[in-house]
Structure 1
Amino acid sequence: MEEDSRTTTTRDSIYRAARSIKRRDNSLYNALRSIYQDSIFVGEISRLWPKLPLLANLRCGLWYSPRFDATCYFKSTDGHTNNLSFNTSRLNLHLPLLAGEKGGCIIIDSTRKGKRFPDSMSKTIPIWSCVLNRSVYNYLKKLCNIDAGCDHDGDNIRQLLDKWDCSLHLPLWVSNTEKASIKARLDEWTRQLEASGADIASLASCLRKPLRPLWVSQKTVLWLNEVPEHGSWDFTPLILVSSSASGEIQRRTNSEFSWSYIPGAGDDEESWARGLSPNVFWTHVDDLIDSGPELCNQKVAEIVENDRVYRAQRGQEAPQVVVKCSKSNGVHSTKSDEILSLDASKPKVGMMNVDKESLVYWFASTNLAVGASQVVGKETSIDCTLNCDQNPISVPLSNLEEHLHLPMTGSKFDRFSILRNLPSAVNFAKLKMSSGKKLLVCCQDGEDISVCVCLAILISLFSEEGVFDGGKSFEEKSITKMEMRRMLIFICKYAVNARPSRGNLKQVFGFLWSQRENSDE
């Protein structure tokens, strides 16, 4: 018995020591220093093709450069083995339009899992680009109408079709079995895209060469004197850059500090960033890197709090969250319930070097727009506001009737928050838009909850042609997931940063279905 007890004690001691080493290696300073180190590589690659726009794959990729021209959102889960999918809720149709205009693009992402590339780059983007190429090919083929004779542009289209590559291009490390599985579903995914109502015509008019991914990592060998011009390729390149070195945590030393390199350190920012956002990090990058491991946590707390106060003084979004300090997040505290006040705001991302805090997305010629809560008061064309954020917005007393605050939370925190508030939201939209007023629906980031509310409003109060009718055509509509997906694709065409979660979309479907049942009674 004593021997078993000693063995257990020894095992526990080894386990505690291993956890202590892991906590030390995954400290805040190590993460920020690793990101900074990897950003040097990202900068070198972007300078090889300076004319190509640089895009961050949200959210991890956003940490690896101080400047991006745009963002995209491809999830690794769509490329996981046995979970392969083509998601029409994340079409990223602004990306091929941008790539077609500029001749290609560079996409930045990273992974912590010891792989050279995340699954978003190994499979999700290759699947996506292949399906888009096939859909464009089908559209051009119909346009040419070879069997019935071509119009005056027919010869040009026919030449384009002869060179158009619809092949599936995957990296070498994807197995033949998985490649065969993907190929078997390409026809199905292409039909889904063409049935979704996506604007394939715009893609066909913009893309003169098919999309094709290329992969670059820190282990890729590039001869700098032989880097080809992107215009010389017979395809539109999507240069997929995995910013981090693959492998385990590595101990590194310079003249000032010893620190541990963390592959894919920008991933899962909630677990380590302590309220720091990519924008704020790059604003204070020199101070943070020079602070060293001992002072980094304190420096981050000061920077985040100063940024929060700066925003609050200007009437901008400046929420506070309580973060429990524990040994698991690399903060040493004598009290397990010590509380820090941090800025929980997420980085605001937009398209092509626009002022990210003034973005408002209008849906075609409608009087409905979506945006982040910071834009309220900045956009003069807005007549009334529906605020879905948890925090109220300062509005003049004379304008109170034109403002409605319906605090909502995502499905992870409350499964029915959006469902409970949608009736009031749609009624407010109907009241204001019936008199021709322009309505802004906003939430903290303008990417999820406000998008779901706009989805409910567009389906409930607008006709199939996109004309406001106050809900007269609602009874004739087919409330199906396919129709919801079609309308969501319409929204994403304008609000390119839209990222509604599945749980929140389910609440919208539940609301629309209940409205239909009530109207039938």
Structure 2
Amino acid sequence: MENDTKLSIYRAARAIKRKDNTLYNALRSIYDDSIFVGEISQLWPQLPLVANLRCGLWYSPKFHSTCYFKSTDGHTNNWSFNTSRLNFHIALLAGQKGGCFIVDSTRRGKRFPDSMSKTIPIWTCVLNRAIFSYLNKFSNNDSSLVDRDSDTGRNSVDWDCSLHLPLWVSETEKAAIEDRLEGWTKDLEASGADIATLASCLKKPLRPLWISQRTVIWINEVPDYDSWNFTPIILVSSSSSNGVTQHRMTSEFSWNYIPGAGDDEESWARGLSPKLFWNHAYDLISSGPDSCNQKVADIVEKDRVYRAQRGQNAPHITAKSSVSGSSPNLPCLEPLLRPDLSSLTMNSSEKDCGIFWLGSTNLAIGVAEHASNVDCILNCDQWPISVHHQEAGAHLFLPIVNSKMDRFSLFDNLSSAVTFANSNLTKGRTLLICCHDGEDISVCVCLAILISLFDDEGSFDGGKSFGKTGITKCGMRRQLVYICKFAIKARPSRGNLKQVFSFLSSGKSTKFGDI
């Protein structure tokens, strides 16, 4: 009887939670919070608005860019500076524009997610320290970078390297983080990141500022961001931090407010994406709770029918040809971004270049149908795509799943992927590597191919140099930083990166054969 009572209480609690966390409640909460985000962004309208993936992407109809700072990197006693998520493009954007907003949200009970409280402050501090070290190295050669110290007569770089944390982070925790800063800075410098470009772009050190719905702002006293002696990274927590469920009403509907409603979208969105939501936001919000689910189902289904024909942004790595005797073209890696499918058609002088493309399967379908310059496709999605290539061996389907579903799926398929790439690159073919979203598995496959088949100078040699030198974690990190510099939406998971390292360490990547 006691167990039945506990089970009944559990079921009742779950039923109440499901009632509160309906699709309409989530979308209406996001919509209301987006009004706050819009108001804050207008305080400094010149600064770009950036969404922290994935939750932050729901809170505005238009973002300038996205970033990926994980809250787990800021959890107490788990602080981290991750070189696989450098977000350099955000630092460069802030340097170009004089600062930026980053939007995120958090569940009930917190004003800010840990990504804003600690992960981003750590990131700004480590980048500042690396820039300071770089500027000091070259201060004697460029007097414009330095100030003259009147006491010593020596040149010194004026650059704030302090760790700036919000007031609610304790001094004990701050001290523990500061003890790790030097090691993280060395990791960044060893990763091969382009600190020189960052130093030339940023005129003032990065510094985080925090704004939530509880922040008091005097509109007539908002300072000009140009007046600050730092480059502001303005962290906007979009949700109300009220600890109790808020029952809200309009003239037509009543609904329950959900703080951080955009989080964990797989559990509530029913296939709806932020882009689809904002394309139909007014209709969904005004329709009310009763018809919301059906409207979302209709929107998602209509999008599913024609989304395969849409092109998506896709970074790729271009390899310039270099001919040595009668040998096939040996490409040297040089990065380049293409904004959309319309630019996929290349002129004849560029056709001989070897190309790595990274993207989603939606892009691959568009490439297969419209682009003449992509010769072969390596599909790492769970589902096949229709590809009509005339040349043999120009398409390989490897159904790879995420490490959370299968810890060895990527590892088991990498040998086939590298062999396929080797065979096609040797023939001078261009290569597209795709997965479901172009952000994780395809990035890891590309990483394995670059390390296995190219030497340290970026020249294709079919794996000869790798067979002699092997792999280190530092070397793998440097190659990943190189890829992520251009694939700015790359989010390789720790589990998949472990599988890549295991594959490269096992020696399987040095044994190639024809498919």
Q: Same fold (TM over 0.5)?
A: yes
Partner-residue secondary structure (3-state), 1:107? strand
Identify the match of residue 194 of structure 1 among 189, 193, 198. 189
Letter of the structure 2 residue corresponding to residue 483 of structure 1: G
Unaligned 5+ runs, structure 2: 149-154, 316-336, 345-352
Residues 452 and 509 of structure 2 are in contact (CA less than 8 Å); yes or no, is this contact kept in structure 1?
Answer: no
Identify the match of residue 505 of structure 1 among 494, 497, 510. 497
Deviation at 1:274, TM superposition (A): 1.0
Deviation at 1:40, TM superposition (A): 0.4
Q: Matches of 1:55 and 1:306 in 2, distance apart?
A: 28
Deviation at 1:265, TM superposition (A): 0.3
Which digits, 9 at most, give the CA deviation of each residue in 1:417-453, with x for residues without a partner?
A: 2112111111111111112222111111111110011
Q: Matches of 2:14 and 2:184 in 1, distance apart?
A: 44
Residues 1:95 and 2:84 are matched in the alignment: no
Residues 463 and 510 of structure 2 are in contact (CA less than 8 Å); yes or no, is this contact kept in structure 1?
Answer: no
Residues 367 and 436 of structure 1 are in contact (CA less than 8 Å); yes or no, is this contact kept in structure 2?
Answer: no
Partner-residue secondary structure (3-state), 2:183? helix
Q: Matches of 1:155 and 1:488 in 2, distance apart?
A: 33
Give me the TM-score of the superposition, normalised by structure 2: 0.86
Residues 71 and 119 of structure 2 are in contact (CA less than 8 Å); yes or no, is this contact kept in structure 1?
Answer: yes
Residues 1:65 and 2:71 are matched in the alignment: no
What's the counterpart of residue 240 of structure 1?
Answer: 235
Partner-residue secondary structure (3-state), 2:433? strand
Q: Matches of 1:428 and 1:11 in 2, distance apart?
A: 56
Residues 1:177 and 2:172 are matched in the alignment: yes
Identify the match of residue 117 of structure 2 among 119, 122, 126. 122
Identify the match of residue 371 of structure 1 among 349, 353, 359. 359
Q: Matches of 1:296 and 1:517 in 2, distance apart?
A: 51
Q: Matches of 1:348 and 1:303 in 2, distance apart?
A: 22
Deviation at 1:356, TM superposition (A): 7.0
Residues 1:109 and 2:125 are matched in the alignment: no
Pick closer, same or farther for the CA change 1:448–1:11 going to 2, 3 Å: closer
Pick closer, same or farther for the CA change 1:11–1:202 going to 2, 3 Å: same
Identify the match of residue 157 of structure 1 among 132, 146, 165. 146
Pick closer, same or farther for the CA change 1:476–1:298 going to 2, 3 Å: same
What's the counterpart of residue 323 of structure 1?
Answer: none
Pick closer, same or farther for the CA change 1:10–1:467 going to 2, 3 Å: closer
What's the counterpart of residue 286 of structure 1?
Answer: 282
Partner-residue secondary structure (3-state), 1:89? helix
Give me the TM-score of the superposition, normalised by structure 1: 0.85
Q: Matches of 2:495 and 2:71 in 1, distance apart?
A: 18
What's the counterpart of residue 18 of structure 1?
Answer: 13
Partner-residue secondary structure (3-state), 2:288? helix
What's the counterpart of residue 28 of structure 2?
Answer: 33
Q: Matches of 1:205 and 1:382 in 2, distance apart?
A: 35
Deviation at 1:389, TM superposition (A): 1.4
Pick closer, same or farther for the CA change 1:497–1:380 going to 2, 3 Å: farther
Partner-residue secondary structure (3-state), 1:441? strand
Deviation at 1:518, TM superposition (A): 6.7
**Matching of residues 440-519 of structure 1 within 5 Å:** 440-515=432-507
Which digits, 9 at most, give the CA deviation of each residue in 1:206-249, with x for residues without a partner?
A: 11110000000001111112212221111111000000000232
What's the counterpart of residue 305 of structure 2?
Answer: 309
Deviation at 1:487, TM superposition (A): 1.0
What's the counterpart of residue 41 of structure 2?
Answer: 46
Partner-residue secondary structure (3-state), 2:146? helix
Partner-residue secondary structure (3-state), 1:494? coil
Mean Cα deviation higher: 434-443 or 252-261: 434-443
Partner-residue secondary structure (3-state), 1:168? coil
Deviation at 1:29, TM superposition (A): 0.6
Partner-residue secondary structure (3-state), 2:176? helix
Aligned CA RMSD, in angstroms, stands at 2.5
Residues 136 and 157 of structure 2 are in contact (CA less than 8 Å); yes or no, is this contact kept in structure 1?
Answer: no
What's the counterpart of residue 264 of structure 1?
Answer: 260
Pick closer, same or farther for the CA change 1:357–1:54 going to 2, 3 Å: farther
Letter of the structure 1 residue corresponding to residue 489 of structure 2: N
Mean Cα deviation higher: 397-406 or 229-238: 397-406
What's the counterpart of residue 384 of structure 1?
Answer: 376
Deviation at 1:349, TM superposition (A): 9.6
Partner-residue secondary structure (3-state), 2:390? helix
Letter of the structure 1 residue corresponding to residue 286 of structure 2: D
Which digits, 9 at most, give the CA deviation of each residue in 1:254-275, with x for residues without a partner?
A: 1010000000000011111111
What's the counterpart of residue 347 of structure 2?
Answer: none
Pick closer, same or farther for the CA change 1:15–1:68 going to 2, 3 Å: same
Residues 78 and 120 of structure 1 are in contact (CA less than 8 Å); yes or no, is this contact kept in structure 2?
Answer: yes
Pick closer, same or farther for the CA change 1:156–1:467 going to 2, 3 Å: same
**Matching of residues 321-360 of structure 1 within 5 Å:** none
What's the counterpart of residue 334 of structure 1?
Answer: none
Residues 349 and 497 of structure 1 are in contact (CA less than 8 Å); yes or no, is this contact kept in structure 2?
Answer: no
Deviation at 1:114, TM superposition (A): 1.4
What's the counterpart of residue 249 of structure 1?
Answer: 245
Mean Cα deviation higher: 485-494 or 399-408: 399-408
Deviation at 1:18, TM superposition (A): 3.5
Which digits, 9 at most, give the CA deviation of each residue in 1:335-380, with x for residues without a partner?
A: xxxxxxxxxxxx9899xx99677899xxxx9632211222232554
Which digits, 9 at most, give the CA deviation of each residue in 1:389-416, with x for residues without a partner?
A: 1222222252564222222111112222
Pick closer, same or farther for the CA change 1:32–1:399 going to 2, 3 Å: farther
Pick closer, same or farther for the CA change 1:354–1:434 going to 2, 3 Å: closer
Residue identity (%)? 65
Residues 366 and 468 of structure 1 are in contact (CA less than 8 Å); yes or no, is this contact kept in structure 2?
Answer: no
Residues 1:298 and 2:294 are matched in the alignment: yes
Residues 411 and 503 of structure 2 are in contact (CA less than 8 Å); yes or no, is this contact kept in structure 1?
Answer: yes
Residues 121 and 165 of structure 2 are in contact (CA less than 8 Å); yes or no, is this contact kept in structure 1?
Answer: yes
Pick closer, same or farther for the CA change 1:494–1:14 going to 2, 3 Å: closer
Partner-residue secondary structure (3-state), 1:81? coil
Q: Matches of 2:391 and 2:362 in 1, distance apart?
A: 17
Residues 129 and 161 of structure 2 are in contact (CA less than 8 Å); yes or no, is this contact kept in structure 1?
Answer: yes
Residues 83 and 191 of structure 2 are in contact (CA less than 8 Å); yes or no, is this contact kept in structure 1?
Answer: yes
Partner-residue secondary structure (3-state), 1:425? helix
**Number of equivalenced pairs:** 472
Residues 140 and 161 of structure 1 are in contact (CA less than 8 Å); yes or no, is this contact kept in structure 2?
Answer: no
Letter of the structure 2 residue corresponding to residue 71 of structure 1: T
Which digits, 9 at most, give the CA deviation of each residue in 1:23-51, with x for residues without a partner?
A: 21111110000000000011111111111
